[in-house]
Amino acid sequence: MNAPVTDTMPIQSSDDIVRVRQEVRRRAAAAGLGIVDQTKFVTAASEIARNTLDYGGGGIVRLEAVQDGARKGLRLIFEDHGPGIASIDLALTDGYTTGGGLGLGLSGSRRLCNEFAIESKPGEGTRVTIARWK
């Protein structure tokens, strides 16, 4: 298996979220995802990117084209150095929010991806990894 091609994009403003969406769309299409899967993955990326900005105080996303045998896909790793998440279980509950939103960002995004992982330490930051395979 070849080493994944990784690129990094900043998430420091809502314009950056728009750019991340466009780039994820382009790469999801290049990985051969169908239109529904592209839409699901771009939507998930948009939700997580907004969390990185609103709760993490900004951060980055790493984009990796991934391949496992004949399967192609796209993996995104969002990182911030914000306050972190005190309770990941609670943060993944539908309707739970600390920011006045709908509380669907994390829990909803998880349903839109094939892989979903959160690592977070209070005071140190949060890393959310999502992937969608063809």
**Site map for another protein, 102-121, x if CB under 8 A?**
x-xx-xxx-xx---------
96 token code pair: 């739970």
Q: Which of 9, 34, 11 is nearest to 23 (CA)?
A: 9
Please, what is the Cα angle at 93 between 87 and 97, to 5 degrees? Answer: 75
Residue 46 touches another protein, criterion: CB under 8 A: yes
Beta-ladder partners of 129: 77, 117
Judged by CB under 8 A, does residue 17 bind another protein? yes
Strand locations in 23-133 (E)? 59-68, 71-80, 115-121, 125-133
Q: How far is the CB of 34 from another protein (least distance, A)?
A: 9
Chain position carrying tokens 């996303």 = 61
- Smallest distance, another protein to C-beta of residue 97, A: 10
Least distance between another protein and beta carbon 62 (Å): 20
Which residues make up the interface to another protein (CB under 8 A)? 14-15, 17-18, 21-22, 25, 35-36, 38-40, 42-43, 46-47, 50, 94, 101-102, 104-105, 107-109, 111-112
